[in-house]
Amino acid sequence: RRDRRASRDMSTEVNAKGYGGTDSSPALEPLLERDAKEGVEPVGAGSEGSGPPKDDPGDVIFGLKLGFDGVFAVLALLTVVLISASCYFEEWMYKRLPNFNYFWTVACAELAVFTVASVAGAVATGTIAQPRRAPLLKYLLQATVMAVYAAIAKIAYKYLNYATGTVLRSTKLVFVMAISVAWLGRRYSAWDYAAAIGMIISVACFGLGEAHADKGQDHTWGYVLSVLGLGLAALQTNMADNAMRDHGATSLENMLYVNGLGFWIVLVFAAVVDGEAAIDYMRHTDNALTLLIARSLTFYLGAFAFTELTRHSGATPATSVATARKALTVMLSFVAFPDDKPFSGWFLAGIVTFIAAIGLELKSRIEKKRR
């Protein structure tokens, strides 16, 4: 209780509505990600600019007094269900709709939801009228990086199955560590390096499993685009970290400008690359528009639920929930969409190694919190 109250008294602002929150999206809420890596407990209920009043112990949700653990359970369940649902809708779109090839349009729809949410959050907290702290050029560069990643991470699905893509995206840790060490001079523990090695081994197992399942098919472009996307995602995470650490920008300011600028960049690319054919496809293909809307909304709601879970319970418990959700997404993909990935020993080894790697990552964060 004392630790929770101390967390609530902190005045650090956390990111409420950043584009991200799932494996298939740009940076997973850079400030929360930074806090988790460093073992910092983010703001709890009653922090400045967000959350319930300071005398609210965090026991109430949706008007119901459920106790601290009850609220944690509800938020954890919402996080897992909503983000898993968003991944299910996304895989359904890519793998079951006929001749689907409108990935820029999907990224545009998702980013539109997050942009509206970012503007609404900035208006509600009054931050929209505050002077900008970080240079506009840095936000423009960050938005461009995010926009490109948002699309190419999805285009990679043309060449890879969804489970393999999910595991590949989870290796973002490796790229974030590499760029952080080289650019920002960050240090990592042995647990972090062990997790990174585990992720690499898991990707190798999934790659061998995919090669075994699809003999003769070339998945090179899927891996190239995924690796390029991961590099860009890690770069964007560090760019956001730089804006908040070195320029004193709040997370809400960062996401307001990055989401807003990124939306227009993606919209231009969607108009040029996908064109009117995307609109025609969404209007006349059964379930296409429904899946796009369902994916975009559950994506945002899941990310928001995760943010609230982190506010309520701290970075480490929230990361535990996210870890379980990643494993669930991979297994759900095998169950719900088995056509393009017949199960094999390589996939089993990849899943086991993947779960072990994210467990090591969680262990690292727990150790940092104890220091």
Which tens digits make up the pLDDT trace of 37-74? Answer: 433 333 333 333 334 444 445 687 877 788 878 888 88
Winning range, highest mean pLDDT, from 67-71, 284-288, 332-336:
284-288
Predicted local confidence at residue 219, as pLDDT? 81
The first and second tokens of residue 135, run together, are 């240079």
Q: Mean per-residue pLDDT for 126-133?
A: 86
Using the predicted structure, report yes or no on whether residue 200 has a pLDDT greater than 80.
yes
Q: If we measure between CA atoms, which residue out of 297, 359, 290 comes closest to residue 327?
A: 359
Backbone angles phi, psi at 65, to 5 degrees: -85, 105
Using the predicted structure, report yes or no on whether residue 371 has a pLDDT greater than 70.
no
Q: Mean per-residue pLDDT for 175-196?
A: 79
> Sorting pLDDT into bands at 50, 70 and 90, what band is 13?
very low
3-state SS string for 321-348: HHHHHHHHHHHHHHHHCCCCCCCCHHHH
In Å, what is the CA distance from 157 to each residue of 153, 223, 348?
A: 8, 10, 21
Least confident of 35-39, 80-84, 140-144, 184-188: 35-39
| CA–CA separation, 242 and 184 (whole Å) | 8
User: What is the β-pairing status of strands 64-65 and 60-61?
Assistant: antiparallel
Predicted local confidence at residue 53, as pLDDT? 40
**Top-confidence residue, 18 or 236:** 236
pTM (2 d.p.): 0.75
| CA–CA separation, 352 and 370 (whole Å) | 27
Which tens digits make up the pLDDT trace of 290-326? Answer: 999 999 999 999 988 988 888 887 766 776 787 778 7
Using the predicted structure, report yes or no on whether residue 6 has a pLDDT greater than 80.
no
| 361 close to 195: Cβ distance less than 8 angstroms | yes
> Sorting pLDDT into bands at 50, 70 and 90, what band is 3?
very low
Using the predicted structure, report yes or no on whether residue 144 has a pLDDT greater than 90.
yes
| CA–CA separation, 185 and 161 (whole Å) | 36
Which tens digits make up the pLDDT trace of 149-185? Answer: 989 989 998 888 888 887 877 776 677 778 778 876 7
The first and second tokens of residue 183, run together, are 């650019």
**Top-confidence residue, 212 or 122:** 122
Cα of first residue to Cα of last residue in the chain, in angstroms, is 19
| CA–CA separation, 158 and 154 (whole Å) | 8
Predicted local confidence at residue 235, as pLDDT? 87
The first and second tokens of residue 207, run together, are 């790659």
Q: Mean per-residue pLDDT for 8-27?
A: 36
Predicted local confidence at residue 185, as pLDDT? 74
Kindly tell me the sign of the dihedral angle through the C-alpha atoms of 304, 306, 308, 314.
Answer: negative
In the three-class reduction of DSSP (H, G, I as helix; E, B as strand; rest coil), residue 361 is classed as helix
The first and second tokens of residue 294, run together, are 């369902």
| 221 close to 195: Cβ distance less than 8 angstroms | no
| 94 close to 86: Cβ distance less than 8 angstroms | no
| CA–CA separation, 322 and 349 (whole Å) | 21
**Average pLDDT for the chain:** 79
Torsion of CA 131, 146, 36, 243, to 10 degrees: -30
Structure-token match 């320029």, residue found: 247
| CA–CA separation, 244 and 225 (whole Å) | 28
**Ramachandran class of 58: left when φ > 0, alpha when ψ lies in -120 to 50, beta otherwise:** left
| CA–CA separation, 52 and 60 (whole Å) | 9
Largest Cα separation within the chain, whole Å, is: 63
Torsion of CA 264, 265, 270, 276, to 10 degrees: 50
| CA–CA separation, 98 and 281 (whole Å) | 10
> Does an H or E element contain 61, and which?
strand 60-61
Predicted local confidence at residue 137, as pLDDT? 95
| CA–CA separation, 241 and 254 (whole Å) | 10
Structure-token match 């590499």, residue found: 178
| CA–CA separation, 81 and 87 (whole Å) | 10
CA angle 231, 234, 238 (to 5 degrees): 135
